[in-house]
Amino acid sequence: MNTALIISHGASSTPQYTTPAASACAALDIGGKTDWFLPSMNELNQLYTRRSNVGLQGLTSAWWFWSSSQNNAGFAREQTFSDGHQGFTTKTALGYVRAIRAF
């Protein structure tokens, strides 16, 4: 639900703004599966705790991932997969995206 809200809010705001992380996840079509979304902080943390099961072990500290959870109007929550650090960063920063399907 967060992914759809992010995209619709960007399209309906004045001025409009882009939503690259959420839009990239929503546009995915892998193996005929089109129900991908940008994970929340809780979902990202679940991926971190199971990182060896989902192919994310061994990532360096530079690898942080966007979440669909907002910190405030200018900052979104993110998680680093090398050490589990959770933080927030400006929404204009460059980061990585890990799309997920039903958890």
Q: What is the pLDDT of residues 50-68, one digit of tens each?
A: 888 877 666 666 678 999 9
Q: Is residue 17 part of a domain?
A: yes
Closest CA to 103 of 48, 52, 43: 43
Q: Is residue 100 part of a domain?
A: no
Q: Is residue 47 part of a domain?
A: yes
% of the chain beyond a pLDDT of 90: 37
Cα–Cα dist 14/79, whole Å: 29
Q: Is residue 96 part of a domain?
A: no
Mean pLDDT of 5-29: 79
Q: Higher model confidence: residue 31 or residue 8?
A: 31
Question: Which residue range is the domain that position 67 belongs to?
Answer: 2-90
As for how many domains the chain has, the answer is 1
Q: What are the helix and strand counts (H, E) for the chain?
A: 3, 3
pTM of the model: 0.81
Q: Is residue 29 part of a domain?
A: yes
Cα–Cα dist 68/78, whole Å: 9
- Cβ atoms 38, 6 nearer than 8 A: yes
CA angle 63, 20, 62 (to 5 degrees): 10
Mean pLDDT of 70-85: 89
